[in-house]
Amino acid sequence: MKRGTPEHPKTKTLAKILEIPLYGAVGILEMLWHFASFRALQGDLGRWSNVQIAEAINWDREPDELINALIESGFVDKSNEYRLLIHDWHDHAEEAVKKTLRNRKLPFLTFRENSRKVDYSLIANSQKPIALITYPTQKILENWDLTQDLVDEFIKAYPGIDVLAECRRAHTWIICNPTKRKTSRGMPRFLNTWLEKVNNNGKFQIDKPKNNYRDNRFDTAEQHKGSLKD
C-alpha cells in the first residue's frame, strides 16, 4: 500500500459511504490490491464478478454495495471494454507485479481520462512493436520508443495536424534541450501536451531569444539618400 493512503480523502470517503471505520476501509483496499496482484495483474478487475470480488475481500454485505462504493470513491473505474479497472493500478501495484508484466510484455490496462481520451497504454503484441522514433530520456542509456499504436491514438485525437511530423519536431527539441528530457513513463504525456498545443495554437510555443537589434542610423529613406551623397 502506498504511503499516505490511510490519510487520503478518497479513503475517508470510502469509509463514509460504507459506514465503516477508517481502518476497515484501509483493510478493504489492501485486500483489493492483494487480490489484483494475483488475479488481475493488468488491473482488469472486471474479469471477476462482483460476488467473487466481495468474497476475495471477505466482504459480508451486498457485493454491489462494495463495488459501487469503490467506484464512487474513485478506487475503481468503470470500463466499456473491461467492465472494471483498478484506478491508477500502475501506481499501486507492487514491484513484483510490474516485473511480471514486463517479462510477459503486457501493459497495465489502467483507465485514464483526459480531455482528448488518449490511451497511454500500448497494445501488447507477441512481437516487439517497431519504433518509429526513439527518444532519449532522463536516464543515461535509456530510450523510449514511439510506436505506431500510440501514433494511431494521437491521430484519432488530433486529426487536423501532421502527428508524425510534430513528433519529429518534439524529438529534435528534446535532443537540443537535454536538461528538459522526460522519463520513459512521462513521454506519452509530453507528446500529448505538445500535440494539444499545436492543435490549439497552430504551433508549439518554444521560448526564442529576442532580437531587438535595430539600425537607427537612418530613420528615413531621405536621410539614407543624403548619406550616400555625402
Residues 125 and 166 in one domain: yes
What are the residues whose beta carbons fall under 8 Å from the beta carbon of 182, sequence distance 6 or more?
A: 135, 137, 138, 144, 174, 189, 190
Domain contains 103: no
Alpha helices in the chain (DSSP H): 9-18, 22-39, 50-57, 63-73, 89-92, 95-104, 148-157, 163-176, 187-201, 221-229
- Check if the beta carbon of residue 86 is closer than 8 Å to that of residue 40: yes
Q: Is 215 helix (H, G, I), strand (E, B) or coil?
A: coil
| Mean pLDDT, 10 residues at a time, the chain of 230 residues | 79 95 94 92 92 94 95 92 89 86 83 42 49 86 86 90 92 92 92 93 52 46 50
Q: What is the pLDDT of residue 60?
A: 93
Domain contains 155: yes
Residues 78 and 143 in one domain: no
Distance between CA atoms of residues 66 and 157, nearest Å: 35
Residues 123 and 87 in one domain: no
Grid cell in block for residue 20: 465503516
In total, how many domains does the chain have? 2
Domain contains 47: yes
Domain that holds residue 148: 119-201
Domain contains 98: no
